[in-house]
A and B are shown apart, each in its own frame.
Chain A
Amino acid sequence: MTRLSKKIQVSIAGISGALIITGCGIVNREAARPTSAPTNAVTRLRSASSPAASYADGVYTATGQYGGLPSSITVTATLSDNIITDVEVTPHATNPTSLDYQESFADAVPAEVVGRPIDEVRVGRLAGSSSTPDGFNAALQQIREQARR
């Protein structure tokens, strides 16, 4: 088993895209689309191989930055016969903002809630259960009617 471990700035979509696309033999397509971070490692990997080349089986690990925050994430992909058979992702909140969010969310303790009549709560809009697709409601109505007979 080959084990590659690289700390690289690379988009996650870029990694899996490039590996898999080569795996199905679609090589003329530009796999790595413009993303927020350069995909240097993947590009190097691809250009070093001929179109028919295949990747060695093994477990590949890469850490990348993503999002506007940004945060980093580690992706471990298991490659077998040019197909990714397993992907494991470990997010790391290295950014202080992300850490703040994570810590403040940990404080949220569930408490009993009491419903108040909507006409007593002056609101401009409502968000929740009444948002139901029409077709679904109609079908449900039919089922209810059939059940009644």
Chain B
Amino acid sequence: MFTFSFNAIGTQWEIETYEPLARGLQQRIFRRIKAFDITYSRFRPDSLVSQIAAAPEGGCFDFPDDSFALFDLYDRLHRATAGAVDPLVGRDLELLGYDRTYSLTPASDLVRANAHARGRATWSKDIIRDGTSIVTRHPLVIDVGAAGKGYLVDIVSEILREDGFTQFVVDGSGDIRHAGESSLRVGLEHPFDPRLAIGIANLQDRALCASAVNKRAWGDGLHHVLDARTGVPVQDVVATWVVADTAAIADGLATALFFTRADHLAAVFRFSYVRMFADGRAEISPNFDGKLFS
């Protein structure tokens, strides 16, 4: 096995293959990830989403072709979670301190109240999307954190496939896409102790994505999984793992499961899952290929 490791979009990536990746292919992957980052990163002042956030009167913004599938998925997630998953949660993340400078300092209650004085901006009402174009009327902070990294894992996997690779693992720090005949054993890391696993998953020709509230926590009750309807971090569910056909769907559902019952999501998406609650209990869907330790 060859492992190609690198840092991108602020996180650690590993690609495992039976043949080493040619230098040209590595460069192609880097360029593709950079192009994605320049479009979607709200941490880059030069990104397209930063332009949208800075446009006082809004405007019409053309996204690249890859946005069609991503925004389409967000449409479905937004509906299936009755608005809990919403890319416009970006403004609330900033207000709580998860901002470009990583201030990790929540804004005062007054500032937060003023920011929503005209009502909370929502993906269904404040964004007009026409395919890959987005029309806004005021500054909006788009955050594709719920499904963006998974989607990028899919994009990188597709580049490998185009280059002839049929067996590989793309691991974007816990967002994992597997291709090949032999399944991969993945440990489900304990949300409160990274030295422990609460179970395992057997992954084959699918994607597994994990989300945990402590992953990006910066204070008492402050972390990155927000209910977009209230702008407040969720408390009951502490970690989720989802297996689906694509990493984008698995990633998005790993977030959605913090707010929405699995059977509701199952009306719209095909997946299996594990989710753990604050009281130390966990649920596993009967179709999950793996087990929990008890």
Given A113-B293, A135-B10, A136-B10, residue A125 in contact with residue B104 (CB < 8 A): no
A75 to B43 alpha-carbon distance, docked (Å): 35
- Any B CB within 8 A of the CB of A7: no
Partner-binding segment picked from A24-32, A41-49, A51-59: A24-32
A107 to B283 alpha-carbon distance, docked (Å): 9
B187→A121 contact, CB < 8 A:
yes
Cβ-neighbour of B267 out of A91, A110, A112, A134 (below 8 A): A91
Q: A117 to chain B: which residues have CB within 8 Å?
A: 195-197
A12 to B129 alpha-carbon distance, docked (Å): 12
Interface positions of A from 121 to 140, Cβ below 8 Å from B: 121-136, 138-140
A16 to B131 alpha-carbon distance, docked (Å): 11
A106→B188 contact, CB < 8 A:
no
How many residues of B sit at the interface, in one of the four size bands? 35 or more
A118 to B203 alpha-carbon distance, docked (Å): 18
A101→B10 contact, CB < 8 A:
no
B266→A98 contact, CB < 8 A:
yes
Smallest beta-carbon distance A17→chain B, Å: 6
Name B's A-contacting residues (CB within 8 A): 7, 9-12, 43, 60, 68, 72, 75-76, 79-80, 82, 102-104, 124-125, 128-131, 133, 135, 169, 171, 173-176, 184-201, 203, 208-210, 212, 214-216, 218, 239, 241, 261-264, 266-270, 276-277, 280-287, 292-294
In the complex, the 6 A-B pairs of residues with the closest C-beta atoms, listed nearest first: A128-B189, A115-B196, A131-B174, A139-B102, A131-B173, A101-B266
Name A's B-contacting residues (CB within 8 A): 12-13, 16-17, 20-21, 24, 26, 29-31, 33, 66-69, 71, 73, 84-85, 87, 89, 91-93, 97-98, 101-118, 121-136, 138-140, 143
